Amino acid sequence: MEQISISVLAVAIVFFAAPLFIDLAICVAGNYRRACTPSGDARREIRLAVVVPAHNEESMIESTLRSLGAAGRETPVYVVAHNCTDATAQIATRCGAHVLILSNPKLRGKGAALRHGFFVAIAEGSNAVLVVDADSEVSPNLIEATRLKLSEGADATQCRYELKLTPDQSRIPMARLRALAFRGMNVLRAKGRAGLGFSTGIFGNGFALTAAALERVPFDAHSIAEDVEYHTKLVSAGISVFWIGDAYVEAPLPKSLEAQASQEARWEGGRMRVASRSTTRLLAAILHGRWRAIETLADVWSLPLSRGIIAVMLTVGLPVHWLHQFAIVCAVVALFYVFEAAMLGDEPVRDLIALVGAPVYLLWKALITPLVLRQSRGRAKWAHTKREAPQQ
């Protein structure tokens, strides 16, 4: 009976960990290939608008709009002030944005704000929309790089999305590890998918859609992880998201551990809920010949790397030889992945040195598991993450 229990546990570990490490191996391999480009035959005119969903972002909205102004002064910017109780709308108006007030307690979630912004922007003459969160800054070339990729035939794009550390945070291993994990998820894996011809994915910030894509796949994502949910619908419909690697959005890392834990839990919990609801859709797409959906299916069922490592660490105490071999392969893949993620940053050596804090980071991730499970429920909602505006 004990041997059966051990075998069941071993199979369970492989079942939950394998999608992650398979996906990591695919993405690491794809990083050595050039990203695929749209196959459009001729350039098309793109009338791009920026949609900024905002929920109580008075501390950050001005710096975000200033950043967007530098990136494209002729591009209309729509700020959707969604159930705000602060001065977000007034500040955005003063900065020259088109402010859309959305005050309806029954319309919860970032998805509701995006749907409203998309509808108004397209109704007023735009044929493509770029999403930028209200707590972010963008690279000066983001708007033009997005417009160019869409004009070449892409119906959906995603740019590089990173966490920005303050000088004080950059000296803290825990903060650097969070930024490194974020880069792995939102840069390395996206770039790797693009190199192998898969859909890059959308990460809720810095992604763009054409009106044609929205007509074909309406933005009716309602979960707390609306970006992941909508991406599964795009892929199921045969629409790929193309990578823009030379432009970026960046958001500051929350300073308090409480805010960081809340943010991590919303991301992870939301992905868990999407995975359970999107599997049938993705399997149907695969059966209909859309084989690229295989990678998306592996992605939504992938554990976060930290939890995958914890799962593999459990194999040490189990007397199962083949499981130990599985763990060695996973460890090698993880090492390559972390190294590649560090090399994509500005300070790879400091990122790699920060790995000395990995045990503390893994412990922290384990401790917030109950919060992640709560956020995986249907009652979870969009919440403001408290950040500080950058110093000028």
Residue 261 and residue 368 in contact, taking contact as beta carbons nearer than 8 Å: yes
- CB within 8 A of 322, min separation 6: which ones? none
Averaged pLDDT score across all residues of the chain: 88
Q: Is the pLDDT of residue 273 over 90?
A: no
Share of the chain above pLDDT 90, in %: 64
39 token code pair: 């196959």
pLDDT above 70 for 381: no
Extract the tokens encoding 341: 């993620």
Q: Across-strand partners of 164?
A: 252
**CA gap 227, 215 in Å, rounded:** 17
Interval 42-84: pLDDT, tens: 689 999 999 999 999 999 999 999 999 877 778 999 999 999 9
Q: Say what percent of the chain tops pLDDT 70.
A: 92
pLDDT digits (tens, 9 = 90+) for 2-28: 666 888 888 888 998 999 999 999 999
Mean pLDDT of 230-247: 95
Q: What are the C-alpha distances in Å from 201 to residues 58, 148, 160, 205, 208?
A: 29, 19, 11, 11, 11
For the record, the structure tokens of 70 come out as 């530098």
* Cα–Cα distance for residue pair 162/75, rounded to 1 Å: 23
For β-strands 128-131 and 48-54, DSSP reports them as: parallel
Whole-structure pTM value: 0.89
C-beta neighbour count of 242 within 10 angstroms: 21
Q: What is the CA 128 to chain-centroid distance, rounded?
A: 20
How far is 122 from 92, CA to CA, in rounded Å? 20
What pLDDT is stored for residue 107 in this prediction?
75
Contact 183, 345 (CB under 8 A): yes
More confident residue, 152 or 382: 152
pLDDT at 261: 72
Kind and range of the H or E run holding 125: none
CA-based nearest residue to 60, from 84, 44, 41: 84
Q: How confident is the model at residue 392 (pLDDT cuts 50, 70, 90)?
A: very low
pLDDT digits (tens, 9 = 90+) for 354-374: 999 999 888 888 888 777 767
Taking a C-beta distance cutoff of 8 angstroms, is the pair 305, 267 a contact?
Answer: no
pLDDT of residue 383: 56
Q: Show the tokens assigned to 209.
A: 């859609």
CA–CA separation, 68 vs 290, rounded Å? 36
Asked if pLDDT for residue 282 goes beyond 60, the answer is yes
> What are the distances in angstroms from CA 339 to CA 183, 332, 344, 352?
11, 11, 9, 7
CA distance 314 to 107: 43
Looking at 36-172, list the stretches that DSSP marks H as alpha helix, in order from N- to C-terminal side. Answer: 61-71, 88-94, 110-123, 142-151
For position 182, what pLDDT does the model report?
93
Backbone angles phi, psi at 163, to 5 degrees: -90, 140
Nearest-angstrom CA–CA distance, 115 and 134 = 16
Give the C-alpha separation, 220 to 233, whole Å: 10
Residue 154, judged by CB atoms within 10 A of its CB (0-12, 13-18, 19+), counts as buried
Single out the residue of 192, 208, 164, 237 nearest to residue 33, CA to CA.
Answer: 192
pLDDT at 144 over 50: yes
pLDDT at 334 over 70: yes
